[in-house]
Each structure stands twice: as C-alpha cells, then as structure tokens.
Amino acid sequence: MYTFGIDIGSTTSKCVVMEDGQNIVGSSLLVGGIGTKSPELAVSQALEAAGVTWDDLSATAATGYGRNRYENADYNVSELSCHGLGAHHIFPTVRTIIDIGGQDAKVISLDEKGRMNNFLMNDKCAAGTGRFLDVMANILVVPVDEFAAYCEKSDNPAQISSTCTVFAESEVISQLANGVNMEDLIAGICSSVAVRVGNLAKRINIVPDVCMSGGVAQNAGVRNALSQSIGHPILFSPKAQLFGAIGAALYAYQKQVKK
Amino acid sequence: MAEEVKKKRPPLDPNSAKARLGKIAAEAYSSAQAAKERGEMVGWCSSNFPVEIPETLGLAVVYPENQAAGIAARGAGERMCNISEADGYSNDICAYARISLAYAKVKSAPEQDMPQPDFLLCCNNICNCMIKWYENLAKELNIPMIMIDIPFNPDYEVSDAQVAYVRDQFRAAIAQLEEITGKKWSEEKYNEVREISGRTSRAWLKATACAHYEPSPFNGFDLLNHMAVMVTARGKLEAAEAMEKLYEEYEENHAKGVSTFRTEEKYRIMFEGIACWPWLRVTSTGLKSRGINMVTTIYADAFGFIYDDFDDMCRAYCKVPNAINLEYARDKRVALCKNNKVEGLLVHTNRSCKLWSGFMYEMSRQIGEECDIPVASFDGDQADPRNFSEAQYDTRVQGLMEIMEARK
Amino acid sequence: MNKQELLACFHEAATSPRKLMDKYLAEGRKVVLTAPVYTPEEIIHAMGMVPMGVWGADIQINEAKKYFPAFICTIMQSIVELGVKGAYDGASAIVIPSLCDSLKVIGQNWKYAVKGIPFIAMTYPQNRKPAFGHAFTKAGYEYVIKGLEDATGLKFEDEKLAESIEVYNAHNAAMRALVPALAAHAEITSAQRSDIFKSAFFMRKEEHTALVNELLAILDAEAADEGKIRIMTTGILADAPGLLEILDDNGMRIVCDDVAAESRQYRTDAPAEGESALDRLASKFCAMDNCSLLYDVEKKRVDKIVEDAKAAKAQGVLVLMTKFCDPEEFDYPLIKRACDKAQIPCVLIEIDRQMVNYEQARTAIETFKDLL
C-alpha cells in the first residue's frame, strides 16, 4: 500500500511516498511554499521518484501552514502531529522534538508510544525562527547553509539579546558597523536562535532523546548551540526536513489501516 | 461582551433569553444616552466596580471596557489604537485603554458610541492598569474620579484588614457620589439591588453549570456575549429574569437533546483569558469547525456575586479573578474543568493583559497536570488586531485537537 | 578617604552586591531581599537584618522565560532569572510589594521558581491619604513582620523600629543633599552618580550615610564645576553603564532626577510624631507622592517634573522608559506635553534589562544634544 504526505511550509514544499507505512520510496523538496507552484511540482517529483502515479496512492495527507489550502489530500493534519510521527519513525527512542521552521519554532513532546502529549510554540514576537536566519543571511550576504562553517571558526560569539526580530536586526547591523568579525557575528546569530528556542523548550519537561526537525536542523551552528542551551545531545537525520511529510504519509497510512 | 457581527442571522424570538439579554445590553447604552440628554450626570465605570453602588443611587453609568470590546469586535480596534498612539501612548499599553483614551479625545466611534462622562468610577480589582487609564481620563476630561482600591490578595482567604479597608472605601465612595450627583443612598433600595444581584448571579451560575451535560446544551461563546449583562446590569430585575430564562432554556435544550453549539460536540475545552474580540469569528470557527466546544471559562465562576451583607459584598469583590493568588485562581479553574468534563485547555496569551498572562504559564502547567489534560496557548490581544496570527491560532488548535483525539 | 577613594568605594559596592551579601552572611547577619519600588526596609533593619534591594541586572534572560511571556518588563524577569540561578542563595526572604501588575505576578511566579527563598507580599493601599489607608498600610506592615518572624525566627520590637527610622531619615537627608551637590560638580560622571545611588540598595544604611556625608563635605569644600549640559532624568531605572557612558561622552550631567531607583526613594521621611514607630512608618508611605506607581488623580508628578527641571536649571528632560512598564508609559504623553508647554526639550529613550547595544540611544541622545 502506498501512502503520500505533503508538507507545505512558508518557504518550502516537501513530499514523501511511503510503502506500507515503513519505507520511503520517493521524496522531494523544493524551495517555495504556500502560494507558489512548488507544491504541485513537488508532488510530481516525489511520485516520479517512487515510480508510482497519483492513482496508485491509497491515502494522502497534507500538513504545514499551506495544508488548509491544499484540496487534493484526503486528510489534513497539523505539522505538530506530523513532526511527532515522522521523528518517531526515524528515531523510535525520541521523546522530544524541536522543530525550527520558517515562521515558527515548536517543541513537541511524545509519550513512550510516540504519541504527542504536549507541545509549545514560540511567542509571536520572538525571533527564534528560520525566517530570522534568512533575514540575517540577506543582511550579511552569506548563504544560510554556510553558517555552520562560520560558527566553527568563531572564538567569541557576539551577543544578540533583543526579544524581537526588528530590534535584533538593528543590533546585528550595528555590531557589523562596530567591526565585529563575520564568524563571531554568525555564531552569535545562531546562538541567539538556539537560546530563544531553548528557553521555549524549558517550559516543557524535556525528556531525552531529543531530535531536531525542520529546515534549520541542517544548520550545525544552531544545533550545537541548542544542545548546549538545553543540556542534552540532539539527534540529527539528514531527512530532518522531511519529518513533516513523512509524518503525513504515516498518518494517512494509519487512517487507511483503521478503515 | 460584544456581539459578533454575522451576515445572516435568523429572526430571534423576542421572548428568548438571547433576545432579552441582547436588549438589556443595548439598553445599557441607550438609557445612559437618554439620561445624558435629560441633563443627568453620566459615569464611566470599570467592569468590576461594585455595580450595587451606582444602581442603588440610581446613577446612569456606561462601561468603557465593554465599549472597547464592541469597537474591537466591529473592526475599529486598530483605528482607535492609532489615535492614542499618535498622542504618545505606547502600543504596549492595554488596547482597551488605548481605545478608550482615543474615544475620550475624538468622542465618536460609529461602531459603539456612548455618552461622555461627568464622573469616573474606577476599581482596580482587575488590574492596576485601570488606575492609570482612569487617572488619565480624569486629567484629560477634568472630571472627578472615585477610586476603590481592591488590592491583589496574596493569600487564599481575604483578611479582615482588607475587608475593613474595602468597606471604608465603599462608604467613602458613596458619600463622594452623593455629593457629586445630589442622589441619596437608601439602605432599602440597596437591599433590593443586593437581592436582585444575588438572584441574577445564582441563575448565571446554574446556567453556566449546565455545561456538565454531555453534550453541553450551549456554545461557550454564548457566555462571552451574555456576560455583558452580568457586568453591567446584574442589579436589574429584567436581568435576573432573563438569566433565569437562560437557565430554563439550557435545561430544555438538554431535555430535547439540542444545543446552541450547532454541530457535533466531539471535544470539550476550557478557554482561558479575555476573548480575542477583533478575531472573534476566526477564533470561534477554528474551534467549531473541528467539533470543539468551549464549554467553560473562568467567567462562568467570576460573576457569582452572592453575599449576605455589606461586608460579605466587600469580600466578594476581593475575589474577582485577577485579584486572587495563583493557588486560588488555579483551584477555581480545576473545579470548572473537572465539573464540566473538560478535555483540553486553550490559553489566550493576551498581550493587553499583563496581570492575566503574567503567571499563566505556571498556572496552566499546574491545571494541565492536576486535570491530566493537554494545554495549548496562542498569542493574541483582546482588542488590538495586530497582535494575532490566524495561521498560528489554527495550527495550535489543531494540535490540541489531535492530542485530545489520540487520548480518546 | 579622598574623593576618588570614596567614588571607588561606591563603585565597588554597586557592582559587587554578592560580595557584600557574603560579607553580611559571614558576619552572622541575615539578609532580606527587597523588590522594587518601595518596601518597608526599616522593619527589616529594626529586626537586625540587612535589606538588600533587588532591581534585576543587565543579563540574558533564559530560565525566567519558563514563567513570563515576552511582554513583562525585564526588571521583573531578570530578578527571577537571578533567583533561579542562585544569585540570591543565602537570603532569608524576599519582600515584593504589589504596586503594579507585573509586581503582582512576579510574587506568584517566585513561589514556584525560587522555592528556597520565601516570598513575603507587601500589600500597600492606593487610597493612602484617608485614615483607612493608614490603617491598611499598618496592617500590611504587620503582615510583613509576621512573615519575617516566621522566616527567620527573629522578633520585631517597636522601640528598635524607632531607632531604625532615625537611621533611614538620616540617610534620606544625605541622599537629598547629594543631588544639588552633584549638580554643582560636573567632574563627577553620570556613571559615578549612579554608583552612589545603586550602592545604597546594597550597603547597610549607616555605612552608606557616613560615606555620602564624607563625600558631601569634600564637595562642599571644593570649588563648583558648572561645566557640561544640564539634564534631568526620569524613569524607573538609570543604571546601565552603556547608557550612562553615552551621557558622559556627550558632555551631559544629571542635575536632578525623578528616577524610581534614585531620588523617588528619598523624598519622604517618617514623621517625628505617631502613636507607635510602626504608625510613623505607615504615615511615611501615606505621605508619599509623585510616582507613577502611586495613585495620583491630579497627576502631580507631571507638574513636579517640570518644576524640578526648572529649579535645577535643567536644559532638557531625558525620559528613560523601561520597556513594558505601563505605569510609566501612561504618564509619558502628559510629561511630554507639560515639558513642551514649559519649553523644556524632552526625549524618550526605551531601555530594558537585556540591552547590550545602545546605538539607537546614542543616536537619540546625540540628536537631543543638538536641540539643547
């Protein structure tokens, strides 16, 4: 049985085709989320990769901020549940998932069976999101995926402590003006995201194992700083960005089996 | 406190509790306007000021918080906030206060007009922000302010010293108002008002307690509308009668197996915080479309003003939700959750209300644990539409629902 | 000590409160923390303990985020942060007044965040002028006394309080004399001025009074230095080194202030007369005015700012707005208007306990300087 999950985020679209709720037989990841052509393209790419057609799919589920506007799926499920399911599939021992996406950050806690039993999301005014990293990348003219390399070379990360994105931006700009070197500045930016999300996680009881999901998980700079902030090692999978879509495909599978 | 504006509304039975309560709420404004036109003095009054005082004295009063909620629900929150912000008020200040200070300046808002005040009745049992807001109104409008200070109580019980302090202030406020308005206090009239207020309160408690039925005979969003009457008119006979009617209707609904929650009730939650008035429809639909009924809120408990004598009345006003410590506030909510078989708690982290939101993280953790229910929160504001994100709300409500679903 | 030694002494106390606390504890004294803005320190002193002011610190806030949403002022958040992190370990209790909504919530959170240091609420009346306000203030003090006795096993005696009132009134007088003396001596920087005020929260009052009086005598004997631009500050706090440095860099000096952590503390003495020392202390609170946290229907504070600025010949008023402090935010439009009317330039600078960068403030202050 093939099931399908699509995760339409604010900046990317991700799709996964799964077989019998076990194996990922095809996936895709495209830049461009809600309101772009990317979701459709991602669907066809994933199907092609799996060598199946839409009609071969037994059930489909959509998640992410674009889920409500995507009408082709059988089910609509929040990214909270999906990140939980997806992470549990990849790391069966995981109990706490920290997801930093484009627009928000979430901390999801699972019970020993992998069911979500609590979650928290960032304050609207907090700057601990992928969007913040993108804005900073633009200001500094350094691609986000190079951030980790800069962090490694930093000896003295800059302190960026403002509570809101706008203030943090002006802080970064003035640090730049004051001649703080790029390595320290980027390490400071990564750690400011990590500290903010780490503080969010403290409002929930953090039970290990802990893993990260979402696009920012790729960023080792943020990941290491986050691990330090919460005092637990953080599991990482190169599939971290697909957890939402994997979870959606699993959700569709579970619903189908129950039928 | 304000009616949500809907496109199609079926004709309402004028004898229904909803129609009668709506009429009482609307008359609160029109009768004050009429009094103003007759040349009588009109007061602006804070929501948890002892309404028994103006009612007994026969004074016309209107409620700025109620007005601000109405203005916000009808889409003008941002416009009014901009006016006071242009005068130098920080956008971090309570949006009710920003709207009200703007209204005192421009004196017109088609969304909800009300007469200008000749005096102010302020009580800080809901927050100290109230004092600052009314001080500024008094200064700007150059009118007298009567201030009853009901301090935040750090203990579970109200101390005798606090009761004495509040009682003396009530007596002083009465004397001050007699002097300002020329009206006279009558113990006989007070006893009458007290009895009616108790009757209204008892009916309200009984009506809201009907949520213990499964499914609940009402949509909890009804309470947000009906509480306007509890705030402004609970000392009036027609309010007591309308609340008793409301209770009857809820019992009838239950007997007939119907509800004002017009879809299948799949989940039952408690909503914590002031309504997000600018986004009332969005917040209500986000729940209803998923079969989530908000069966109770602290308001169900908050207006149970039942007391025997003057001292007891003072004590009741010391126990309003924002004047009590974490443990007492928590226990009230735990009781509501347990009595009404609540399966989840949805918390409005209200940017406008520092006091209500300031220890809510800790309190909602404790409620969640004690009741073994999931807790989700969203960021919003009681009247400033800029502090809310629809997508964020939707995801959090869905997340809460999915946990409740998994636990069934 | 000479002037520089005295200033160094204030600086040391202002920047190392923990060191002082350890010294008191080592001497066998108990320490009680006192939160902003007003607490009955005299009672703590009378019971033989050392009251130490806790107004937070310029630190990154992490642990307190578990308790507070982002829109609660960072003074409160940093107090809880320091409490959770153990910065106050060894204190016997904390007294927190309920003068604003954020102060009400910090007490509730404290009980769960910092379990080792008992929370004692000081509930003040806002209607403090009538007799019932006096009675309730006294009841509030009795509640604090009971809390302190329970927490420490020490006993309160009214006669001892009478002695402590003398100590505090003498300190008030010294601090009031300090403001015009510093105004006449431009060589003392804003940062040094802040150290003197800040150290008052940490040092035993007897010692602080003696040092301040010593400094006053030296200043009195020296020729006045009337250089620099004269400004007045108003707000809750004005102790951030990064901010004070900008004032010093721009040749500004504070000739008077309406800062809660500075002059507002010292305006009112306990009266000489009263049924008991505790009644005299209650009378002190009831007589207090001109503060954003004390009910003031006439907004006398606004007029007082203008009067004080004129009397001290301040060329401008610097409003240091603690972010999310609504009592201050409500007063600001009226202060601004009153200053405009009196033709005193007035500038608003938003500050909080998490600022590491003051570039925006620097720009504002530099522009303000051009206006003067």
Concatenated DSSP letters for A173-198?
Answer: HHHHHTT--HHHHHHHHHHHHHHHHH
Residues A129, A99: Cα–Cα separation, whole Å? 9
Q: Are B398 and A61 in contact (CB under 8 A)?
A: no
Report which residue type is found at A124: K
Q: Is residue C7 part of a domain?
A: no
Binary contact (B402, A79; C-beta < 8 A): no
Q: Searching chain B, which residue's CA lies closest to the CA of residue A119?
A: B376
Domain total of chain C? 1
- Which uninterrupted H or E stretch holds C161? helix C158-183
Any idea what DSSP says for residue B126? S
CB neighbours of A139 closer than 8 A, spacing ≥ 6? Answer: A169, A172, A173, A176
pLDDT at B11: 80
Binary contact (A77, B349; C-beta < 8 A): no
Q: Is residue C32 part of a domain?
A: yes
Residues B178, B166: Cα–Cα separation, whole Å? 18
What are the C-alpha distances in Å from B66 to residues B19, B29, B61, B132, B228?
Answer: 18, 10, 12, 18, 7
Report which residue type is found at C8: A
Domain with CATH 3.30.420.40 in chain A: 1-91+242-259, 93-236
Q: Is residue C65 part of a domain?
A: yes
Using a pLDDT cut of 70, give the percent of chain B over it: 98
Look-up of token digits 């209803």: B288
Torsion angle, CA of A168/A172/A178/A184, rounded to 10 degrees? 120
C243-294 tens-digit pLDDT: 999 999 999 999 999 999 999 999 999 999 999 999 999 999 999 999 999 9
Picking from A78, A113, A251 by the largest number of B CB atoms within 10 A of its own CB, the best residue to mutate is A78
For chain B, the C-alpha Rg in angstroms (whole number) is 20
Which is it for the CA torsion C54, C59, C63, C67, positive or negative?
Answer: positive
Residue B38 has pLDDT above 80, yes or no: yes
| Closest CB from A159, A198, A200 relative to C356 | A159
pLDDT at C305: 98
Residue B3 has pLDDT above 50, yes or no: no
Residues C258, C246: Cα–Cα separation, whole Å? 19
For chain A, the C-alpha Rg in angstroms (whole number) is 18
With H, G, I as helix, E, B as strand and everything else as coil, classify residue C134: helix
| Closest CB from A65, A81, A117 relative to B391 | A65
In this structure, whether the domain defined by A1-91+242-259 belongs to CATH 1.20.1290.10 is answered with no
User: What residue numbers bound the domain in which C26 lies?
Assistant: 20-159
Of B305, B292, B283, nearest to B224 (Cα)? B283
Q: Give me the CATH code for the A93-236 domain, please.
A: 3.30.420.40
Q: Exposed, middle or buried: residue C221 (CB in 10 Å: 0-12, 13-18, 19+)?
A: exposed
pLDDT at B2: 46
Binary contact (B395, A80; C-beta < 8 A): yes
Q: Are C340 and C255 in contact (CB under 8 A)?
A: no
Using a pLDDT cut of 70, give the percent of chain C over it: 100
What are the C-alpha distances in Å from B350 to residues A144, B83, B294, B360?
Answer: 34, 21, 18, 10
User: What's the average model confidence in pLDDT over B31-50?
Assistant: 96
pLDDT at B1: 45
pLDDT at C93: 98
Q: Are A198 and A226 in contact (CB under 8 A)?
A: yes
Binary contact (B128, C101; C-beta < 8 A): yes
Q: What is the pTM of this model?
A: 0.90
Q: Is residue C253 part of a domain?
A: no
b/e per residue B337-352 (b: at least 16 CB within 10 A): beebebbbbbbbbbbb
Q: State the nearest Cα–Cα gap between B369 and chain A, in angstroms.
A: 11
Q: For A11, phi and psi rounded to 5 degrees? A: -130, -10
Q: State the nearest Cα–Cα gap between C111 and chain B, in angstroms.
A: 10
Which domains are present in chain B?
Answer: 17-187 (3.40.50.11890)
Q: Are C56 and C34 in contact (CB under 8 A)?
A: no
Residue B333 has pLDDT above 90, yes or no: yes
The CATH number of whichever domain residue C125 belongs to comes to 3.40.50.11890
pLDDT at C282: 98
Partners of residue B392 in chain A, C-beta under 8 Å: 104, 121, 124
Task: Decide the pairing of beta strands A234-235 and A12-19.
Answer: unpaired
pLDDT at B18: 94
pLDDT at A166: 61
Residues B117, C368: Cα–Cα separation, whole Å? 39
Picking from A107, A120, A165, A167 by the largest number of C CB atoms within 10 A of its own CB, the best residue to mutate is A167
Q: Is the peptide bond before B151 cis (omega within 30 degrees of 0)?
A: no
Residue C135 has pLDDT above 50, yes or no: yes
Any idea what DSSP says for residue A96? E
Which is it for the CA torsion C319, C320, C323, C328, positive or negative?
Answer: negative
Q: State the nearest Cα–Cα gap between A151 and chain B, in angstroms.
A: 31
Residues B306, B52: Cα–Cα separation, whole Å? 12
Q: Which residues of chain A have pLDDT under 70?
A: 123-127, 161-167
pLDDT at A167: 63
The count of other CB atoms within 10 Å of the CB of residue C216 is 15
pLDDT at A127: 59
Q: Is the peptide bond before B222 cis (omega within 30 degrees of 0)?
A: no
Look-up of token digits 């020329």: B182
CB neighbours of A43 closer than 8 A, spacing ≥ 6? Answer: A6, A15, A28, A54, A72
Residue B330 has pLDDT above 60, yes or no: yes
Q: Classify residue A83 as left (phi > 0), alpha (psi -120 to 50) or beta.
A: alpha
Neighbours of chain B (3+ CB pairs under 8 A): A, C
Binary contact (C356, A161; C-beta < 8 A): yes
pLDDT at B390: 86
pLDDT at B218: 97
C144-195 tens-digit pLDDT: 999 999 999 999 999 999 999 999 999 999 999 999 999 999 999 999 999 9
What is the distance, to the nearest Å, from the Cα of residue B172 to the centroid of all Cα atoms in its chain? 26
C59-69 tens-digit pLDDT: 888 899 899 99
Q: Is residue C149 part of a domain?
A: yes
Average pLDDT, chain C: 96
Residues C370, C34: Cα–Cα separation, whole Å? 40
For chain C, the C-alpha Rg in angstroms (whole number) is 20
